[in-house]
Amino acid sequence: MPVQGRKVAVVGMSAAVPTCKGLDDFSNKLFAGESMIRLWDKAAAYGKQVRSNVAGYITPEEMDIEPIYGTISEEYPETFIDRQGRIPDINLSTADLGSIWAMIGAKECIDMAGWTEAEVRSEGTGVVIGSGGGGTEISRIAWHGFFKEGKKTRAAGSHTVDRAMGYREAANVSCFIKNRGVCEAIVSACATGLGNIGYAYRLIKFGLQDRAITGGVEGTALETFIGFDAMQVLSKGFSPEQSSRPFDLNRNGFVCSFGSGIVALEEYEMAKARGAKIYAVIDEYFNNSDGDGDMFAPSFRGQQRLWAGLSANTQIKPDVVKMHGTSTPTGDIIELLSVAAVLGESGYHISAPKSQFGHMLGAAGSVEFIAALQMLDKQKVSPCVNSDTLNPELEHFQLKEGWAGPMKPVSEYRDLIPQQSVNKEINQIVCLNYGFGGTNSAIAISRDI
């Protein structure tokens, strides 16, 4: 149970985002409505084998990381070099690219938070970081030599396991910062990023930790892209910058993207006592499952219960709702109607950051959480680009027997969905993320006033 009087503050943040050179660049592009999505040459090289060829991706060079290729394969990086000297070689040897982003993010968060070495390395500091995938790029190349080329197991190198295991980002960050508190990874599909932050919040709120490095990661991997392309759920037929279009009538799938979002959380009174800059206070976190047995379809009732749980113990009256908004045909509108059913038709705005940088899967919730922190800081709502045409007709599911939500078409909610950034007073933001298996997550953050 929560410990009476304990609150949780956000005191640091760091994001690895496609085409962006740091947090300031990300913030500037976010509010300017710039797209961070581009043609992916690696996908396009396969021609008609793939349906989609746009993505939000980050190359090693863009993060000042140099792969060192060895004897296994000319494609297999046996280790990496950090050209900026941020991460020691010993930590690079056990990491894939996503883990390197997470370690860089942890360092930047700790520096921003102003934590001392003694604080970081104490039992009061935890690490909670997860990813949606499982090191697929490392695994494919490593085991190709065994299964296809008949090489001995040692040809796969001594670090394939630790560079591909499901909890690799948390493990690498923990070894890098040498914390003595918890080291865990929560994996919940596209709700992973927000779920890890929510779990870390609870650890602090419940008095089990005093501070945490937390977030989500999705390392660039063509294997991940191909998997979703095979499901025929990726956007196609638009230019890169127009491909991600939440709520738009012509949306036809999401844009697969990659990145990392890491934040530093701290017990509020501890942060205040040492004069830390507080970027937001976490009001509440709640998560649940739809319970209807459907792996993929969104659930209006599940989302309604999510809102009820979020507001059970604190006042929830957001000025902005940061939507999951993936650009999938059904998911976007059920989410929008679920929000309208709870909050009404005015008094708030909707933000859909995936319209600019795509769906970062395991990193989506944490990078979008950082986008929400930027909105709180700048007192601006980020735009929902490409939401050009909203359906003037009812959706097919609104006409089915048993539909319990609003009976208005999406076009009636045009004023809630800005296509350009909006300056306004923002005191509270609710962030929403959902994932395969019917998992739902919501977190509310407020300005420290």
Catalytic one of 20, 175, 349, 359: 359
Is 190 tagged catalytic? yes
Bridge partner list, 430: 321, 444
Overall residue count recorded for the chain in this entry: 449
Q: How far apart are CA 192 and CA 129, in angstroms?
A: 9
Q: How far is CA 444 from CA 42, 78, 264, 315, 399, in A?
A: 38, 42, 16, 10, 32
Is 159 tagged catalytic? no
Q: How far apart are CA 333 and CA 8, in angstroms?
A: 32
**13: phi then psi, degrees, rounded to nearest 5:** -155, 150
Q: How far is CA 67 from CA 165, 203, 287, in A?
A: 20, 36, 38
Catalytic one of 20, 324, 349, 384: 324
- When computed from its CA atoms, the radius of gyration of the chain, rounded to whole angstroms, is 21
Give 171-176 contacts, CB < 8 A, sequence gap 24+: 171/94, 172/91, 172/94, 172/95, 172/99, 172/100, 172/102, 172/103, 173/99, 173/102, 173/103, 173/106, 173/127, 173/129, 173/213, 174/127, 175/91, 175/94, 176/87, 176/88, 176/91, 176/103, 176/106, 176/107
Is 384 tagged catalytic? no
Catalytic one of 20, 109, 175, 190: 190
Which positions are annotated as active-site residues?
190, 324, 359
